[in-house]
Chains A and B, each alone.
Chain A
């Protein structure tokens, strides 16, 4: 704010870089809205592609918001409060990203509001849409105290800023609402696949369990990683490394649970000999998705980061820890991609006495990739601005606006336990 002299700083380069990517994404979106979804590589056999993966992953990495808010306001572990604040902001951005990719993906974005008005209570997708919309509202309310940090707002409209930060008093209630809504739709996103009897590979109850566990791991990982990276790049972000280490350790143990369920999931679905199911597994273990499955999902996505984050000495190394967290996020993204595509790549014949399988293929078109890049850069750009102007990574601070008694913050922890 002091100087307006023109000088190229890394900050400006970073913003311009993201801005260019955002523009590329907007161009792709323009083409999709003008020419229709025929410009994508999706087809009637593979009607869901890259954008669904972006959507599912954005929602997964937003799960830090509900899980950390629940830890802080329902379990009473106040030492995680400032991390939960970062997670809330990431959640707000993640859900905005998800809605962007959904608006691109549906054929009639002008009718996005239909599921609010025309209810089909049998549909998991209806439930997910309602929960996502309501939860976006919760996240907006939870983020109001963060927006009260904006210096311009505080100097120009101090009363409004005061009101916004007052919302912080409702944090426990919002945490309950967020927990309920998130538990519902994070698992339903997996169940959405699991209820389809026509798709033997998906038709099993495990996907919803895996979706929620992996989302909590990815959401916390995204929060810690974003905090650590911000703190290394700018003095405007400050972190309490002890807290981040603790969260990282929790992520490590969640990964162990995730691995256990994934292992069970894969093994339990192998030996059914149901047409389409065994073949689907082959796609993952030995077919075109095998690199994703073994390397990105299991080895780099679960096993390696679990070891790094649980083992105390590697966890203490910031670079190792950041690498592990990054792998967790990529691993969960790979899991979403594999789940979606493995089910769609296998089309079971409806002809009588003919359990034959048609294999389909899908590679995203350039316009799909550009749009996805645009959505991700929108998230990064918003987060960068948030770090700079809203102090979303300010975890070393003692006083929070609106939070009254900070002195006693460690007392409830012990009394709760």
Chain B
């Protein structure tokens, strides 16, 4: 009998503790959610002009060399999407750097995270390789290192020099908007999107100027001006991920 009393009292106690803990975690979550995602006055964005893109794939090659990516992985995938007149239309897809990134939400160890300037970066020392982010990403922007990448990178040196550490086997990797170039450039007093050394490698490598990069928080930046003057869209806007990669469609007027 006394045994049963203990049960009930214990149950109530534990239930109270559990409810308090739950309430507490809700409060914490709320505080966390109200924090601004971007700060420091910078919000990096990329604008890709489909009217200019010829599908040459230089962006992918420069990306592979500068970020030391194995040949079977692409951080930047170029797909032929159709025709406008007699001209093929292509779509280059880096990481979308979503404002509400599913990969950041699902990562069990917080290895995917937002930088104050909005870039979604990977902490390769923290990633456990569960691949949940890969399953969650609507854009297929993430790749797993199924095997170790050893030996020389076939694209070095003609397409660039590696600027970041090679990722180990067993972690997921993705495009970082060449955060290393942005950070180094800012330290040197350069402007990303204007000065080549401070701009993502794919933007610099594009031979037809189809890629633009800059600070969306600055109304006078090249990307802000472009987005004001031209019609643009983003991929899978229905999902609410709010990507920071914008596309200028290849309309008849633009191509002619």
Decide: A36 near B147, CB < 8 A? Known: A47-B135, A172-B7: yes
Q: Is A313 an interface residue when CB atoms closer than 8 A count as contact?
A: no
For B106, give its contact among A107, A124, A344 (CB under 8 Å).
A124
Q: How far is the CA of A38 from the CA of B147 in the complex (A)?
A: 6
Q: Is B29 an interface residue when CB atoms closer than 8 A count as contact?
A: yes
Q: Is A123 an interface residue when CB atoms closer than 8 A count as contact?
A: yes
Q: Which of B137-145, B190-198, B199-207, B217-225 contacts A (4 or more CB under 8 A)?
A: B137-145
Q: Is B93 an interface residue when CB atoms closer than 8 A count as contact?
A: yes
Q: How far is the CA of A196 from the CA of B107 in the complex (A)?
A: 12
Contacts of A350-374 to chain B: CB distance below 8 A = 350-352, 354
- Residue contact B81 to A114, C-beta cutoff 8 Å: no
Q: Is A198 an interface residue when CB atoms closer than 8 A count as contact?
A: yes
Which chain B residue lies CB-closest to A116?
B109
- Residue contact A123 to B106, C-beta cutoff 8 Å: yes
Categorize the interface residue count of chain A. 35 or more
Which chain A residue lies CB-closest to B93?
A350
Q: For the complex formed, measure the closest distance between the CB of A339 and the CB atoms of chain B, giving whole angstroms.
A: 13
- Residue contact A118 to B109, C-beta cutoff 8 Å: yes
Q: Is A44 an interface residue when CB atoms closer than 8 A count as contact?
A: yes
B-chain residues with CB within 8 Å of residue A192 when the two chains form the complex? 132
For B140, give its contact among A74, A112, A347 (CB under 8 Å).
A347
Q: How far is the CA of A40 from the CA of B173 in the complex (A)?
A: 19
B-chain residues with CB within 8 Å of residue A114 when the two chains form the complex? 109, 111, 126, 128
Q: Is A37 an interface residue when CB atoms closer than 8 A count as contact?
A: yes
Q: For the complex formed, measure the closest distance between the CB of A337 and the CB atoms of chain B, giving whole angstroms.
A: 16
Q: How far is the CA of A124 from the CA of B133 in the complex (A)?
A: 12
Bitwise, B117-149 to A at CB < 8 A (1) or not (0) is 000000000111111101111111011111110
Q: How far is the CA of A104 from the CA of B247 in the complex (A)?
A: 41
B-chain residues with CB within 8 Å of residue A351 when the two chains form the complex? 79, 81, 91, 235
A-chain residues with CB within 8 Å of residue B91 when the two chains form the complex? 351-352
Q: How far is the CA of A47 from the CA of B130 in the complex (A)?
A: 9
Which chain A residue lies CB-closest to B28?
A121
Q: How far is the CA of A199 from the CA of B148 in the complex (A)?
A: 29
- Residue contact A350 to B138, C-beta cutoff 8 Å: yes
B-chain residues with CB within 8 Å of residue A74 when the two chains form the complex? 7, 11
Decide: A107 near B135, CB < 8 A? Known: A114-B109, A119-B110, A352-B233: no
Which chain A residue lies CB-closest to B139?
A350
Q: Is A129 an interface residue when CB atoms closer than 8 A count as contact?
A: yes
Q: For the complex formed, measure the closest distance between the CB of B4 and the CB atoms of chain A, giving whole angstroms.
A: 6
Which chain A residue lies CB-closest to B77?
A350
Q: How far is the CA of A29 from the CA of B126 in the complex (A)?
A: 23
Q: How far is the CA of A76 from the CA of B143 in the complex (A)?
A: 51
- Residue contact B135 to A48, C-beta cutoff 8 Å: yes
Q: How far is the CA of A172 from the CA of B28 in the complex (A)?
A: 31
Q: For the complex formed, measure the closest distance between the CB of A37 and the CB atoms of chain B, giving whole angstroms.
A: 5
Q: Is A180 an interface residue when CB atoms closer than 8 A count as contact?
A: yes
- Residue contact A48 to B131, C-beta cutoff 8 Å: yes
Q: How far is the CA of A347 from the CA of B131 in the complex (A)?
A: 16
For B109, give its contact among A36, A44, A120, A195 (CB under 8 Å).
A120
Q: Is B184 an interface residue when CB atoms closer than 8 A count as contact?
A: no
Which chain A residue lies CB-closest to B235?
A350
A-chain residues with CB within 8 Å of residue B111 when the two chains form the complex? 114, 118
- Residue contact B81 to A354, C-beta cutoff 8 Å: yes
Which chain A residue lies CB-closest to B142?
A44
B-chain residues with CB within 8 Å of residue A38 when the two chains form the complex? 146-147
Number of A-B residue pairs, CB cutoff 8 Å, is 151
Most chain B CB within 10 A, of A44, A73, A105, is at A44
Categorize the interface residue count of chain B. 35 or more
Q: How far is the CA of A177 from the CA of B10 in the complex (A)?
A: 11
Which chain A residue lies CB-closest to B81?
A351
Interface of A is mostly: loop
- Residue contact B4 to A350, C-beta cutoff 8 Å: no
- Residue contact A198 to B136, C-beta cutoff 8 Å: yes
Which chain B residue lies CB-closest to A348?
B138
Bitwise, A96-139 to B at CB < 8 A (1) or not (0) is 00000000011110011011001111111110110000000000
For A198, give its contact among B138, B146, B147 (CB under 8 Å).
B138
Decide: A412 near B4, CB < 8 A? Known: A108-B128, A173-B14: yes
Which chain A residue lies CB-closest to B110?
A120
Q: How far is the CA of A396 from the CA of B97 in the complex (A)?
A: 62
Q: How far is the CA of A350 from the CA of B234 in the complex (A)?
A: 10
B-chain residues with CB within 8 Å of residue A140 when the two chains form the complex? none
Q: How far is the CA of A197 from the CA of B10 in the complex (A)?
A: 40
- Residue contact B4 to A47, C-beta cutoff 8 Å: no
- Residue contact A352 to B131, C-beta cutoff 8 Å: no
Q: How far is the CA of A157 from the CA of B44 in the complex (A)?
A: 67
A-chain residues with CB within 8 Å of residue B131 when the two chains form the complex? 47-48, 107
Decide: A36 near B148, CB < 8 A? Known: A47-B135, A108-B171, A123-B107: yes
Q: Is B188 an interface residue when CB atoms closer than 8 A count as contact?
A: no
Q: How far is the CA of A17 from the CA of B51 in the complex (A)?
A: 66
A-chain residues with CB within 8 Å of residue B107 when the two chains form the complex? 120, 123, 125
Q: How far is the CA of A129 from the CA of B106 in the complex (A)?
A: 12
Q: How far is the CA of A36 from the CA of B129 in the complex (A)?
A: 11
- Residue contact A107 to B108, C-beta cutoff 8 Å: no
A-chain residues with CB within 8 Å of residue B180 when the two chains form the complex? none
Q: A106-B170, A123-B132 are in contact. List 8 more A-B contacts (CB 8 A).
A: A44-B144, A48-B131, A48-B135, A107-B172, A118-B110, A121-B28, A123-B108, A412-B4
Q: Could you name 18 residue pairs across A and B whose Cβ atoms are closer than 8 Å?
A: A38-B146, A44-B142, A44-B143, A47-B144, A48-B131, A73-B7, A106-B129, A107-B131, A107-B171, A108-B129, A122-B105, A125-B107, A126-B109, A172-B3, A196-B136, A197-B138, A198-B137, A350-B235
Which residues in B have some Cβ–Cβ distance to A below 8 Å?
A: 3-4, 6-7, 10-11, 14, 18, 25, 28-29, 32, 79, 81, 91, 93, 102, 104-111, 126-132, 134-140, 142-148, 168-172, 233, 235-236, 239-240, 247, 249
The 7 closest A-B pairs by CB, nearest first: A107-B129, A107-B170, A198-B138, A38-B147, A47-B131, A125-B108, A120-B110
